[in-house]
Chain A
């Protein structure tokens, strides 16, 4: 197993506005709190980071772009202890409204080379449902502005809104096509507990309609030369996210910040979601040692998210055992729940939207 740590995730939990569907760890932006938070974050990184050569960094949230210039400066000063001599990809998440020329230039000067923008939709009906207020023009202008400085841009696309039609999906896609960025992530709206939408008892879209949308989107994006490389991710050639592939390849990574989780020395850990505990330096709340069995299960659960699937050879190289000897692959192949091609095992496209029903076969409990 490759236990080198080559990736860092950093969580910035602050938002100027809380979206109605979001169940990530977030809180309202407060200048004073952000400063204290950055101090604690700096301390956490200092305590744990062990001089590894880092290849990918991802700063997500919340809204990292909610930080003002001073705070950004402070954040990147903290990050300067990270060895970036081998850095390949450095992503920074931005809110449409918070994209400014000044911030973009600052980020570019500080090694950031990938911007991820949460657009979700440009349909007014759904924007007001999820409580986002950007306009089509605003989105277009901001993305074009970003393109002046970055070529590696991801945009988030959301579908499956209540009462959404395939026509609505197509309208949004037509707009995303115009943006012509190199990476698109697609998500269906999930009515998570503790979100405004859930509390307001918003009725979810019918599964069948949603499933049809999913396959429609795949088809649409593939025609535009986006390569569908993971359940939810599409990229032009060479723009697959290296950082996200760390997760799906079941590799180790640091997770810093409130609610962040990481994977070091075969231990998966989660940080506290309590800001007060975090500020007091009680960072980690849960640790779980990954046994070889669990690691192999995770390898499947995560690896089968990739459209290409899992390389049998890589599996053997990592675990010194054939994947067929660990899991009942043959039965799943026989049932048509998995397919095999060129030494890779993968979930067939038409079963992708049922992947949990397939992945559950790799879990051994009790």
Chain B
């Protein structure tokens, strides 16, 4: 394909640059709003506007969320002057706080987009605080004002009471009808400060993202803080000391457009034929090899992985492919950590650490979809602090790594503090839910007479599975949830093993609170009985603490799996039936003589209330 080669007019005047991102809750219309901004600035014509241009990954479009960072550079004529507006996209989910902080560090301002019917959500607030800590100028926007159930005065009041905006600062938009978009873009120019920086100083460019392009190597997203970089320069990564020749510089308008250079204040993409993905670290500073800057930019504090699970290829021959896939994903996702793990049940795989459950789901889905590797993942686990009798402290991220009971003097588990935003009528059900999850009530803030922020202290392990889903169903989707880690606390925890056909399946072991072990055991064996398909023989299931069996159930033997009638015309059909059956089998993991579906590995987190 021949790419358009346009030499974009280089901006000489930094005062005409605005770098901004959009903070919004999932579904509050960020991507559609971004589309309207692109249309207004004629970056794309309405005709060619595919819905939600910035969300380019399939999963992003399907889930309606933004995962990877995306940047668009737009031209906007304001009072006779042509401005460069750089929109840097941010993910909206709490799991991606780290990515949000990366994009915010490349900006001077942010739009806070709130749904006119839903009001502010907990996660939005978390990201907003992050922006405020970065000293960004915030433009509050109430979107979806066209909705029949929009309550603009109420949402305005929230923005004023909760964050302290003035009423006249708030911009009303409808990304659907286009109302208010021009006013918004004008406000971006008027209110967001132009980037500071010195063109003459040695180059300091912040790497805020990178992806691997199979044709051109690593693509680096940068924000030039000081100095300039041009095609032909030899650049140096300050942390890894790797040097590369810049072969191409581009920006997205959102079509890819070539540039000769990037100067202080600008954002864009650098191509330098980088094949070794480990040379490029998000958060690192790029400088020039022949005129290096004396110090690195602050970079980011990578978020600590909070949730761990074992990731195993169903076909054991795909182990190396899986390693390769994880390596490529890590390139623009430093928060993903992994190390090889061996399970006697599942073979060779990786113990992977994630920021949260959504992050975990997305990585799993990307491996399956983009790298075509069918996976079995074990139930997510948190990291336990295990104090041994000899006072040594171990960090344990997998139940199978828990030392023998006799060697343990104490197990501590991570706790979180919640922000649960909810209409007040759901306070009762939410408290009940938190109580069931071993929660400790802290207090409650009334935002207004109808909305409340509930604070609980909860073990992280209790929310890694279904807390979020439960919360949504208990509150008909009205509550939103965010949390911060508060630290470790000692708990009376034990390892519960699951036995199939009398054999312990290590990948099914789980760490549970002793008081909940019996109910958990009962729920787990019951769930396993439901999700494991009948096999050609009977399979006993047991849950045990050490040698002590606390619950049992049995999967009855399969009695019928036959196509009795098979006329001439049925041969193709019969084959298709068997092929379908085979496909299903391929998604199962054979452990000993039992075939387990993916759900079996998640069912160890089942609660007895289901």
Contact B571 A268 (CB under 8 A): yes
User: Which residues of A sit under 8 angstroms from B582, Cβ to Cβ?
Assistant: 360, 363, 365
**Which of A286, A305, A356 is in CB contact (< 8 Å) with B561?**
A356
**Which of B564, B569, B571 is in CB contact (< 8 Å) with A188?**
B564
Given A211-B559, A261-B571, A261-B572, A356 contacting B564 (CB threshold 8 A) = no
Given A353-B559, A360-B578, A259 contacting B585 (CB threshold 8 A) = no
Tell me, in angstroms, the Cα distance from A365 to B571 when the chains sit together.
Answer: 17
Contact B562 A360 (CB under 8 A): no
- For window 564-606 of B, CB contacts with A under 8 Å fall at 564-569, 571-572, 574-575, 577-579, 581-583, 585-586
Q: Is A48 an interface residue (CB 8 A)?
A: no
Q: Is B132 an interface residue (CB 8 A)?
A: no
Tell me, in angstroms, the Cα distance from A7 to B74 when the chains sit together.
Answer: 72
User: Which residues of A sit under 8 angstroms from B560, Cβ to Cβ?
Assistant: 207, 210-211, 353-354
Q: Is A72 an interface residue (CB 8 A)?
A: no
Q: Is A238 an interface residue (CB 8 A)?
A: no
Q: Is A190 an interface residue (CB 8 A)?
A: yes
Tell me, in angstroms, the Cα distance from A366 to B586 when the chains sit together.
Answer: 10
Task: For A355, give the chain B residue with the smallest CB separation.
Answer: B562
A-B contact pairs, 29 of them (CB 8 A): A9-B569, A60-B567, A186-B564, A187-B564, A187-B565, A208-B559, A210-B559, A232-B564, A246-B568, A247-B567, A253-B568, A259-B569, A261-B569, A262-B568, A268-B571, A270-B572, A298-B575, A301-B574, A301-B578, A353-B559, A354-B536, A356-B561, A357-B558, A359-B578, A360-B578, A360-B585, A363-B575, A363-B579, A366-B586
Q: Is A351 an interface residue (CB 8 A)?
A: yes
Q: Is A167 an interface residue (CB 8 A)?
A: no
Q: Is B7 an interface residue (CB 8 A)?
A: no
User: Which residues of A sit under 8 angstroms from B536, Cβ to Cβ?
Assistant: 337, 351, 354, 357
Q: Is A64 an interface residue (CB 8 A)?
A: no
Tell me, in angstroms, the Cα distance from A186 to B566 when the chains sit together.
Answer: 11
Contact A247 B562 (CB under 8 A): no
Q: Is A260 an interface residue (CB 8 A)?
A: yes
User: Which residues of B sit under 8 angstroms from A210, Cβ to Cβ?
Assistant: 559-560
9 pairs of A and B residues whose beta carbons are closest in the complex: A207-B560, A211-B559, A207-B559, A356-B561, A261-B569, A363-B582, A208-B559, A357-B561, A354-B561
Tell me, in angstroms, the Cα distance from A187 to B585 when the chains sit together.
Answer: 27
What distance in Å separates the Cβ of A59 from its nearest Cβ neighbour in chain B? 12
User: Which residues of B sit under 8 angstroms from A356, Cβ to Cβ?
Assistant: 561-563, 577-578, 581
What distance in Å separates the Cβ of B533 from its nearest Cβ neighbour in chain A? 10
Task: For B534, give the chain A residue with the smallest CB separation.
Answer: A207
What distance in Å separates the Cβ of B564 from its nearest Cβ neighbour in chain A? 5
User: Which residues of B sit under 8 angstroms from A247, Cβ to Cβ?
Assistant: 566-568, 571
Task: For B584, give the chain A residue with the smallest CB separation.
Answer: A360
Render A260-299 as a binary contact track against B, CB cut-off 8 A, 1 for contact.
1111000010100000000000000010100000000110
Q: Is A218 an interface residue (CB 8 A)?
A: no
Q: Is A352 an interface residue (CB 8 A)?
A: yes
Contact B575 A301 (CB under 8 A): yes
Known: A211-B560, A255-B568, A366-B583. 4 other contacts (CB 8 A): A58-B568, A207-B560, A247-B568, A337-B536
User: Which residues of B sit under 8 angstroms from A351, Cβ to Cβ?
Assistant: 536
Tell me, in angstroms, the Cα distance from A231 to B561 when the chains sit together.
Answer: 12
User: Which residues of A sit under 8 angstroms from B565, Cβ to Cβ?
Assistant: 187, 190, 232
- For window 97-135 of B, CB contacts with A under 8 Å fall at none
**Which of A246, A268, A353 is in CB contact (< 8 Å) with B562?**
A353
Tell me, in angstroms, the Cα distance from A149 to B585 when the chains sit together.
Answer: 51
Tell me, in angstroms, the Cα distance from A357 to B559 when the chains sit together.
Answer: 11
User: Which residues of B sit under 8 angstroms from A188, Cβ to Cβ?
Assistant: 564
User: Which residues of A sit under 8 angstroms from B567, Cβ to Cβ?
Assistant: 60, 247
What distance in Å separates the Cβ of B328 from its nearest Cβ neighbour in chain A? 23
User: Which residues of B sit under 8 angstroms from A357, Cβ to Cβ?
Assistant: 536, 558, 561
Assign chain B's interface to a size class.
20 to 34
What distance in Å separates the Cβ of A25 from its nearest Cβ neighbour in chain B? 8
User: Which residues of B sit under 8 angstroms from A34, Cβ to Cβ?
Assistant: none
Task: For B558, give the chain A residue with the smallest CB separation.
Answer: A354
Interface residues of B (CB under 8 A from A): 536, 556, 558-569, 571-572, 574-575, 577-579, 581-583, 585-586
Tell me, in angstroms, the Cα distance from A260 to B567 when the chains sit together.
Answer: 10
Tell me, in angstroms, the Cα distance from A297 to B571 when the chains sit together.
Answer: 12
User: Which residues of A sit under 8 angstroms from B586, Cβ to Cβ?
Assistant: 366
User: Which residues of A sit under 8 angstroms from B562, Cβ to Cβ?
Assistant: 231, 352-356
Render A204-231 as a binary contact track against B, CB cut-off 8 A, 1 for contact.
0001101100000000000000000001
Tell me, in angstroms, the Cα distance from A8 to B427 when the chains sit together.
Answer: 73
User: Which residues of A sit under 8 angstroms from B559, Cβ to Cβ?
Assistant: 207-208, 210-211, 353-354
Tell me, in angstroms, the Cα distance from A270 to B567 when the chains sit together.
Answer: 13
**Which of B556, B569, B571, B583 is in CB contact (< 8 Å) with A260?**
B569
Tell me, in angstroms, the Cα distance from A356 to B569 when the chains sit together.
Answer: 18
Render A55-78 as a binary contact track against B, CB cut-off 8 A, 1 for contact.
000101000000000000000000
**Which of A231, A263, A337, A354 is in CB contact (< 8 Å) with B564?**
A231
Render A332-366 as a binary contact track against B, CB cut-off 8 A, 1 for contact.
00000100000000000001111111011001011
Task: For A211, give the chain B residue with the smallest CB separation.
Answer: B559
Q: Is A302 an interface residue (CB 8 A)?
A: yes
User: Which residues of A sit under 8 angstroms from B578, Cβ to Cβ?
Assistant: 301, 356, 359-360, 363
User: Which residues of B sit under 8 angstroms from A187, Cβ to Cβ?
Assistant: 564-565
Render A108-139 as a binary contact track against B, CB cut-off 8 A, 1 for contact.
00000000000000000000000000000000
Give the most central of B564, B574, B579, B582: most A CB within 10 Å: B564
Tell me, in angstroms, the Cα distance from A354 to B536 when the chains sit together.
Answer: 8
User: Which residues of B sit under 8 angstroms from A297, Cβ to Cβ?
Assistant: 575
User: Which residues of B sit under 8 angstroms from A208, Cβ to Cβ?
Assistant: 556, 559
Tell me, in angstroms, the Cα distance from A354 to B569 when the chains sit together.
Answer: 22
Given A353-B559, A353-B562, A298 contacting B571 (CB threshold 8 A) = yes
What distance in Å separates the Cβ of A333 from its nearest Cβ neighbour in chain B? 15
Task: For B593, give the chain A residue with the smallest CB separation.
Answer: A335
User: Which residues of A sit under 8 angstroms from B561, Cβ to Cβ?
Assistant: 353-357
Contact A365 B575 (CB under 8 A): no
Tell me, in angstroms, the Cα distance from A359 to B578 when the chains sit together.
Answer: 8
Contact A261 B564 (CB under 8 A): no
User: Which residues of B sit under 8 angstroms from A255, Cβ to Cβ?
Assistant: 568-569
Give the most central of B568, B569, B572, B581: most A CB within 10 Å: B568
Tell me, in angstroms, the Cα distance from A282 to B564 when the chains sit together.
Answer: 31
Tell me, in angstroms, the Cα distance from A355 to B564 when the chains sit together.
Answer: 10
Task: For A269, give the chain B residue with the smallest CB separation.
Answer: B572
What distance in Å separates the Cβ of A74 from its nearest Cβ neighbour in chain B? 23
User: Which residues of A sit under 8 angstroms from B571, Cβ to Cβ?
Assistant: 247, 261, 263, 268, 298, 302
Tell me, in angstroms, the Cα distance from A266 to B374 when the chains sit together.
Answer: 34
Tell me, in angstroms, the Cα distance from A298 to B581 when the chains sit together.
Answer: 15
User: Which residues of A sit under 8 angstroms from B569, Cβ to Cβ?
Assistant: 9, 11, 255, 259-261, 270
Tell me, in angstroms, the Cα distance from A354 to B557 when the chains sit together.
Answer: 11
Contact A365 B583 (CB under 8 A): yes
**Which of A261, A286, A360 is in CB contact (< 8 Å) with B581?**
A360
Render A8-24 as a binary contact track against B, CB cut-off 8 A, 1 for contact.
01010000000000000
What distance in Å separates the Cβ of A37 from its nearest Cβ neighbour in chain B? 17
Tell me, in angstroms, the Cα distance from A118 to B568 when the chains sit together.
Answer: 17
User: Which residues of B sit under 8 angstroms from A253, Cβ to Cβ?
Assistant: 568
Give the most central of A190, A247, A268: most B CB within 10 Å: A247
Tell me, in angstroms, the Cα distance from A262 to B578 when the chains sit together.
Answer: 20
What distance in Å separates the Cβ of A235 from its nearest Cβ neighbour in chain B? 16
What distance in Å separates the Cβ of A279 from its nearest Cβ neighbour in chain B? 20
Tell me, in angstroms, the Cα distance from A190 to B561 when the chains sit together.
Answer: 12
Task: For A25, give the chain B residue with the smallest CB separation.
Answer: B569
Tell me, in angstroms, the Cα distance from A79 to B556 when the chains sit together.
Answer: 52
User: Which residues of B sit under 8 angstroms from A270, Cβ to Cβ?
Assistant: 569, 572
